[in-house]
C-alpha cells in the first residue's frame, strides 16, 4: 500500500517541473528567459542535493514518520511561493 501511495504521489507531482520550465518565457519574457531558466536549474540542483539529506537527518533524529510531514510542508511552501509570485 505504501508503495502504491508513493507511486501515485510521484505520478501527480512529476509534471510540475517540465510545466514550470516550459512556461518560463511566458512568465518573465524572452529577454530574461535564459537567465531565469539557469536560476531554475540551479535551484533544482540545490534542492536535489540538500532536501533529501536534511530529511534524512531529521528522520534519523526524530522518526521516519516525519518525512510525509516535511514533504507536505515543502508542497505547501511551494504553493505559497507560486501564489505569491503569480499575483
Across all residues in the chain, what is the average pLDDT?
88
d(C-alpha 75, C-alpha 69), whole Å? 10
Is the pLDDT at 1 greater than 80? The verdict is no
Q: At what angle do helices 30-61 and 66-85 cross, to 10 degrees?
A: 160
For residue 86 the three cell numbers come to 503569480
Tell me: the pLDDT tens digits for 20-59?
Answer: 888 888 888 999 999 999 998 998 899 889 989 999 999 9
Percent of the chain with pLDDT over 70: 99
Number of independent structural domains in the chain: 1
The candidate with the shortest Cα–Cα distance to 26, out of 37, 13, 41, 16, is 37
Determine the structural domain holding residue 58 and report its residue range: 2-85
Amino acid at each position: 500500500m505504501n508503495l502504491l501511495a508513493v507511486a501515485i504521489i510521484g505520478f501527480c507531482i512529476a509534471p510540475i517541473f517540465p510545466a514550470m520550465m516550459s512556461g518560463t518565457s511566458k512568465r518573465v519574457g524572452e529577454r530574461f528567459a535564459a537567465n531565469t531558466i539557469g536560476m531554475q536549474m540551479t535551484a533544482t540542483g540545490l534542492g536535489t542535493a540538500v532536501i533529501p539529506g536534511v530529511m534524512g537527518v531529521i528522520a534519523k533524529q526524530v522518526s521516519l514518520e516525519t518525512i510525509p510531514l516535511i514533504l507536505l510542508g515543502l508542497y505547501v511552501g511551494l504553493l505559497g511561493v507560486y501564489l505569491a509570485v503569480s499575483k
